[in-house]
Amino acid sequence: MRKVKDKRNEDALPAEPEAYFESLFPQDPELERIAETIRERGMPEISVEPAYGRLLTMLAASIGAAAALEIGALGGYSGVCLARGLAPGGKLTSLELKPEYAELAQANLAAAGFGDRVEMLVGSAAESLAKLAAEGRTFDFFFIDADKENYPLYLEWAIRLARPGALIAADNTLLRGRTLNPDKTGPAVRAVREFNRIIARDERLIGTHLPSFDGLALATVKRA
């Protein structure tokens, strides 16, 4: 017997694919709380989208990530998503330029129960990355969500610091449409376009791009 569609429910569905799929998931109280602290501080509301936050958790868990590196902490939203996917005893190292952002991120991670699993390094990410390399540190998961002009540099550091088979994710690869606009030629746009090309073509990587929301790049560092 053919089922008759409920026209009222069909009309109520969101029109946009992202909004439809997002409507299927319940709100996450912990992440909502973090988003509210970001608003209260007057910080930019540019945390990773909830759907991509769930993806970060899932990917980190799928590889049993024991050491994750985040470039750009903001208020700790993505940090919590990453920490949720870590293997037991796993650690998150988070790099943040601004002390006030790092302070809030650390507080929010602690409130979420991850305070003892996070190392927060404050200052220039490039300098922190060089320091980590000098210490012989390596990681199996990377999330890049910081100043766009340095995306190619951060990607190169991620490859250098990667354990074989490590995963790399990077947010905002569409720059709210500027990446696709030929009239936009500023430093950030040029850098992200170059970053996107590297993800697609670098022989050290197996990469792909997700076009939803503001774009997310994903890559695996090939095993030797």
Instruction: Return averaged pLDDT per consecutive 10 residues of the chain, 224 residues in all.
Output: 42 84 95 96 93 98 97 96 97 97 97 96 97 98 97 98 97 96 96 98 97 96 88
- CA 165 vs CA 64, 65, 85, 138, 224: distances in Å: 12, 11, 17, 12, 9
Q: What is the rounded CA–CA span in Å between residue 59 and residue 186?
A: 32
Return left, alpha or beta for 65; rule: phi > 0 is left, psi -120 to 50 is alpha, else beta. beta
Q: What is the pLDDT of residue 2?
A: 35
Q: Measured at the alpha carbon of residue 81, what is the angle toward residues 203 and 103, in degrees to the nearest 5?
A: 105
Q: What is the rounded CA–CA span in Å between residue 134 and residue 166?
A: 19
> Which helix (H) or strand (E) element contains residue 30?
helix 29-40
Q: What is the rounded CA–CA span in Å between residue 143 and residue 124?
A: 16
R_g of the chain, CA atoms, integer Å:
18
Q: What is the pLDDT of residue 11?
A: 60
Q: What is the pLDDT of residue 141?
A: 98
Q: Please tell me the chain's helix, strand, coil percentages from 3-state DSSP, rounded to the nearest 5.
A: 50, 20, 30
Q: What is the rounded CA–CA span in Å between residue 72 and residue 145?
A: 5
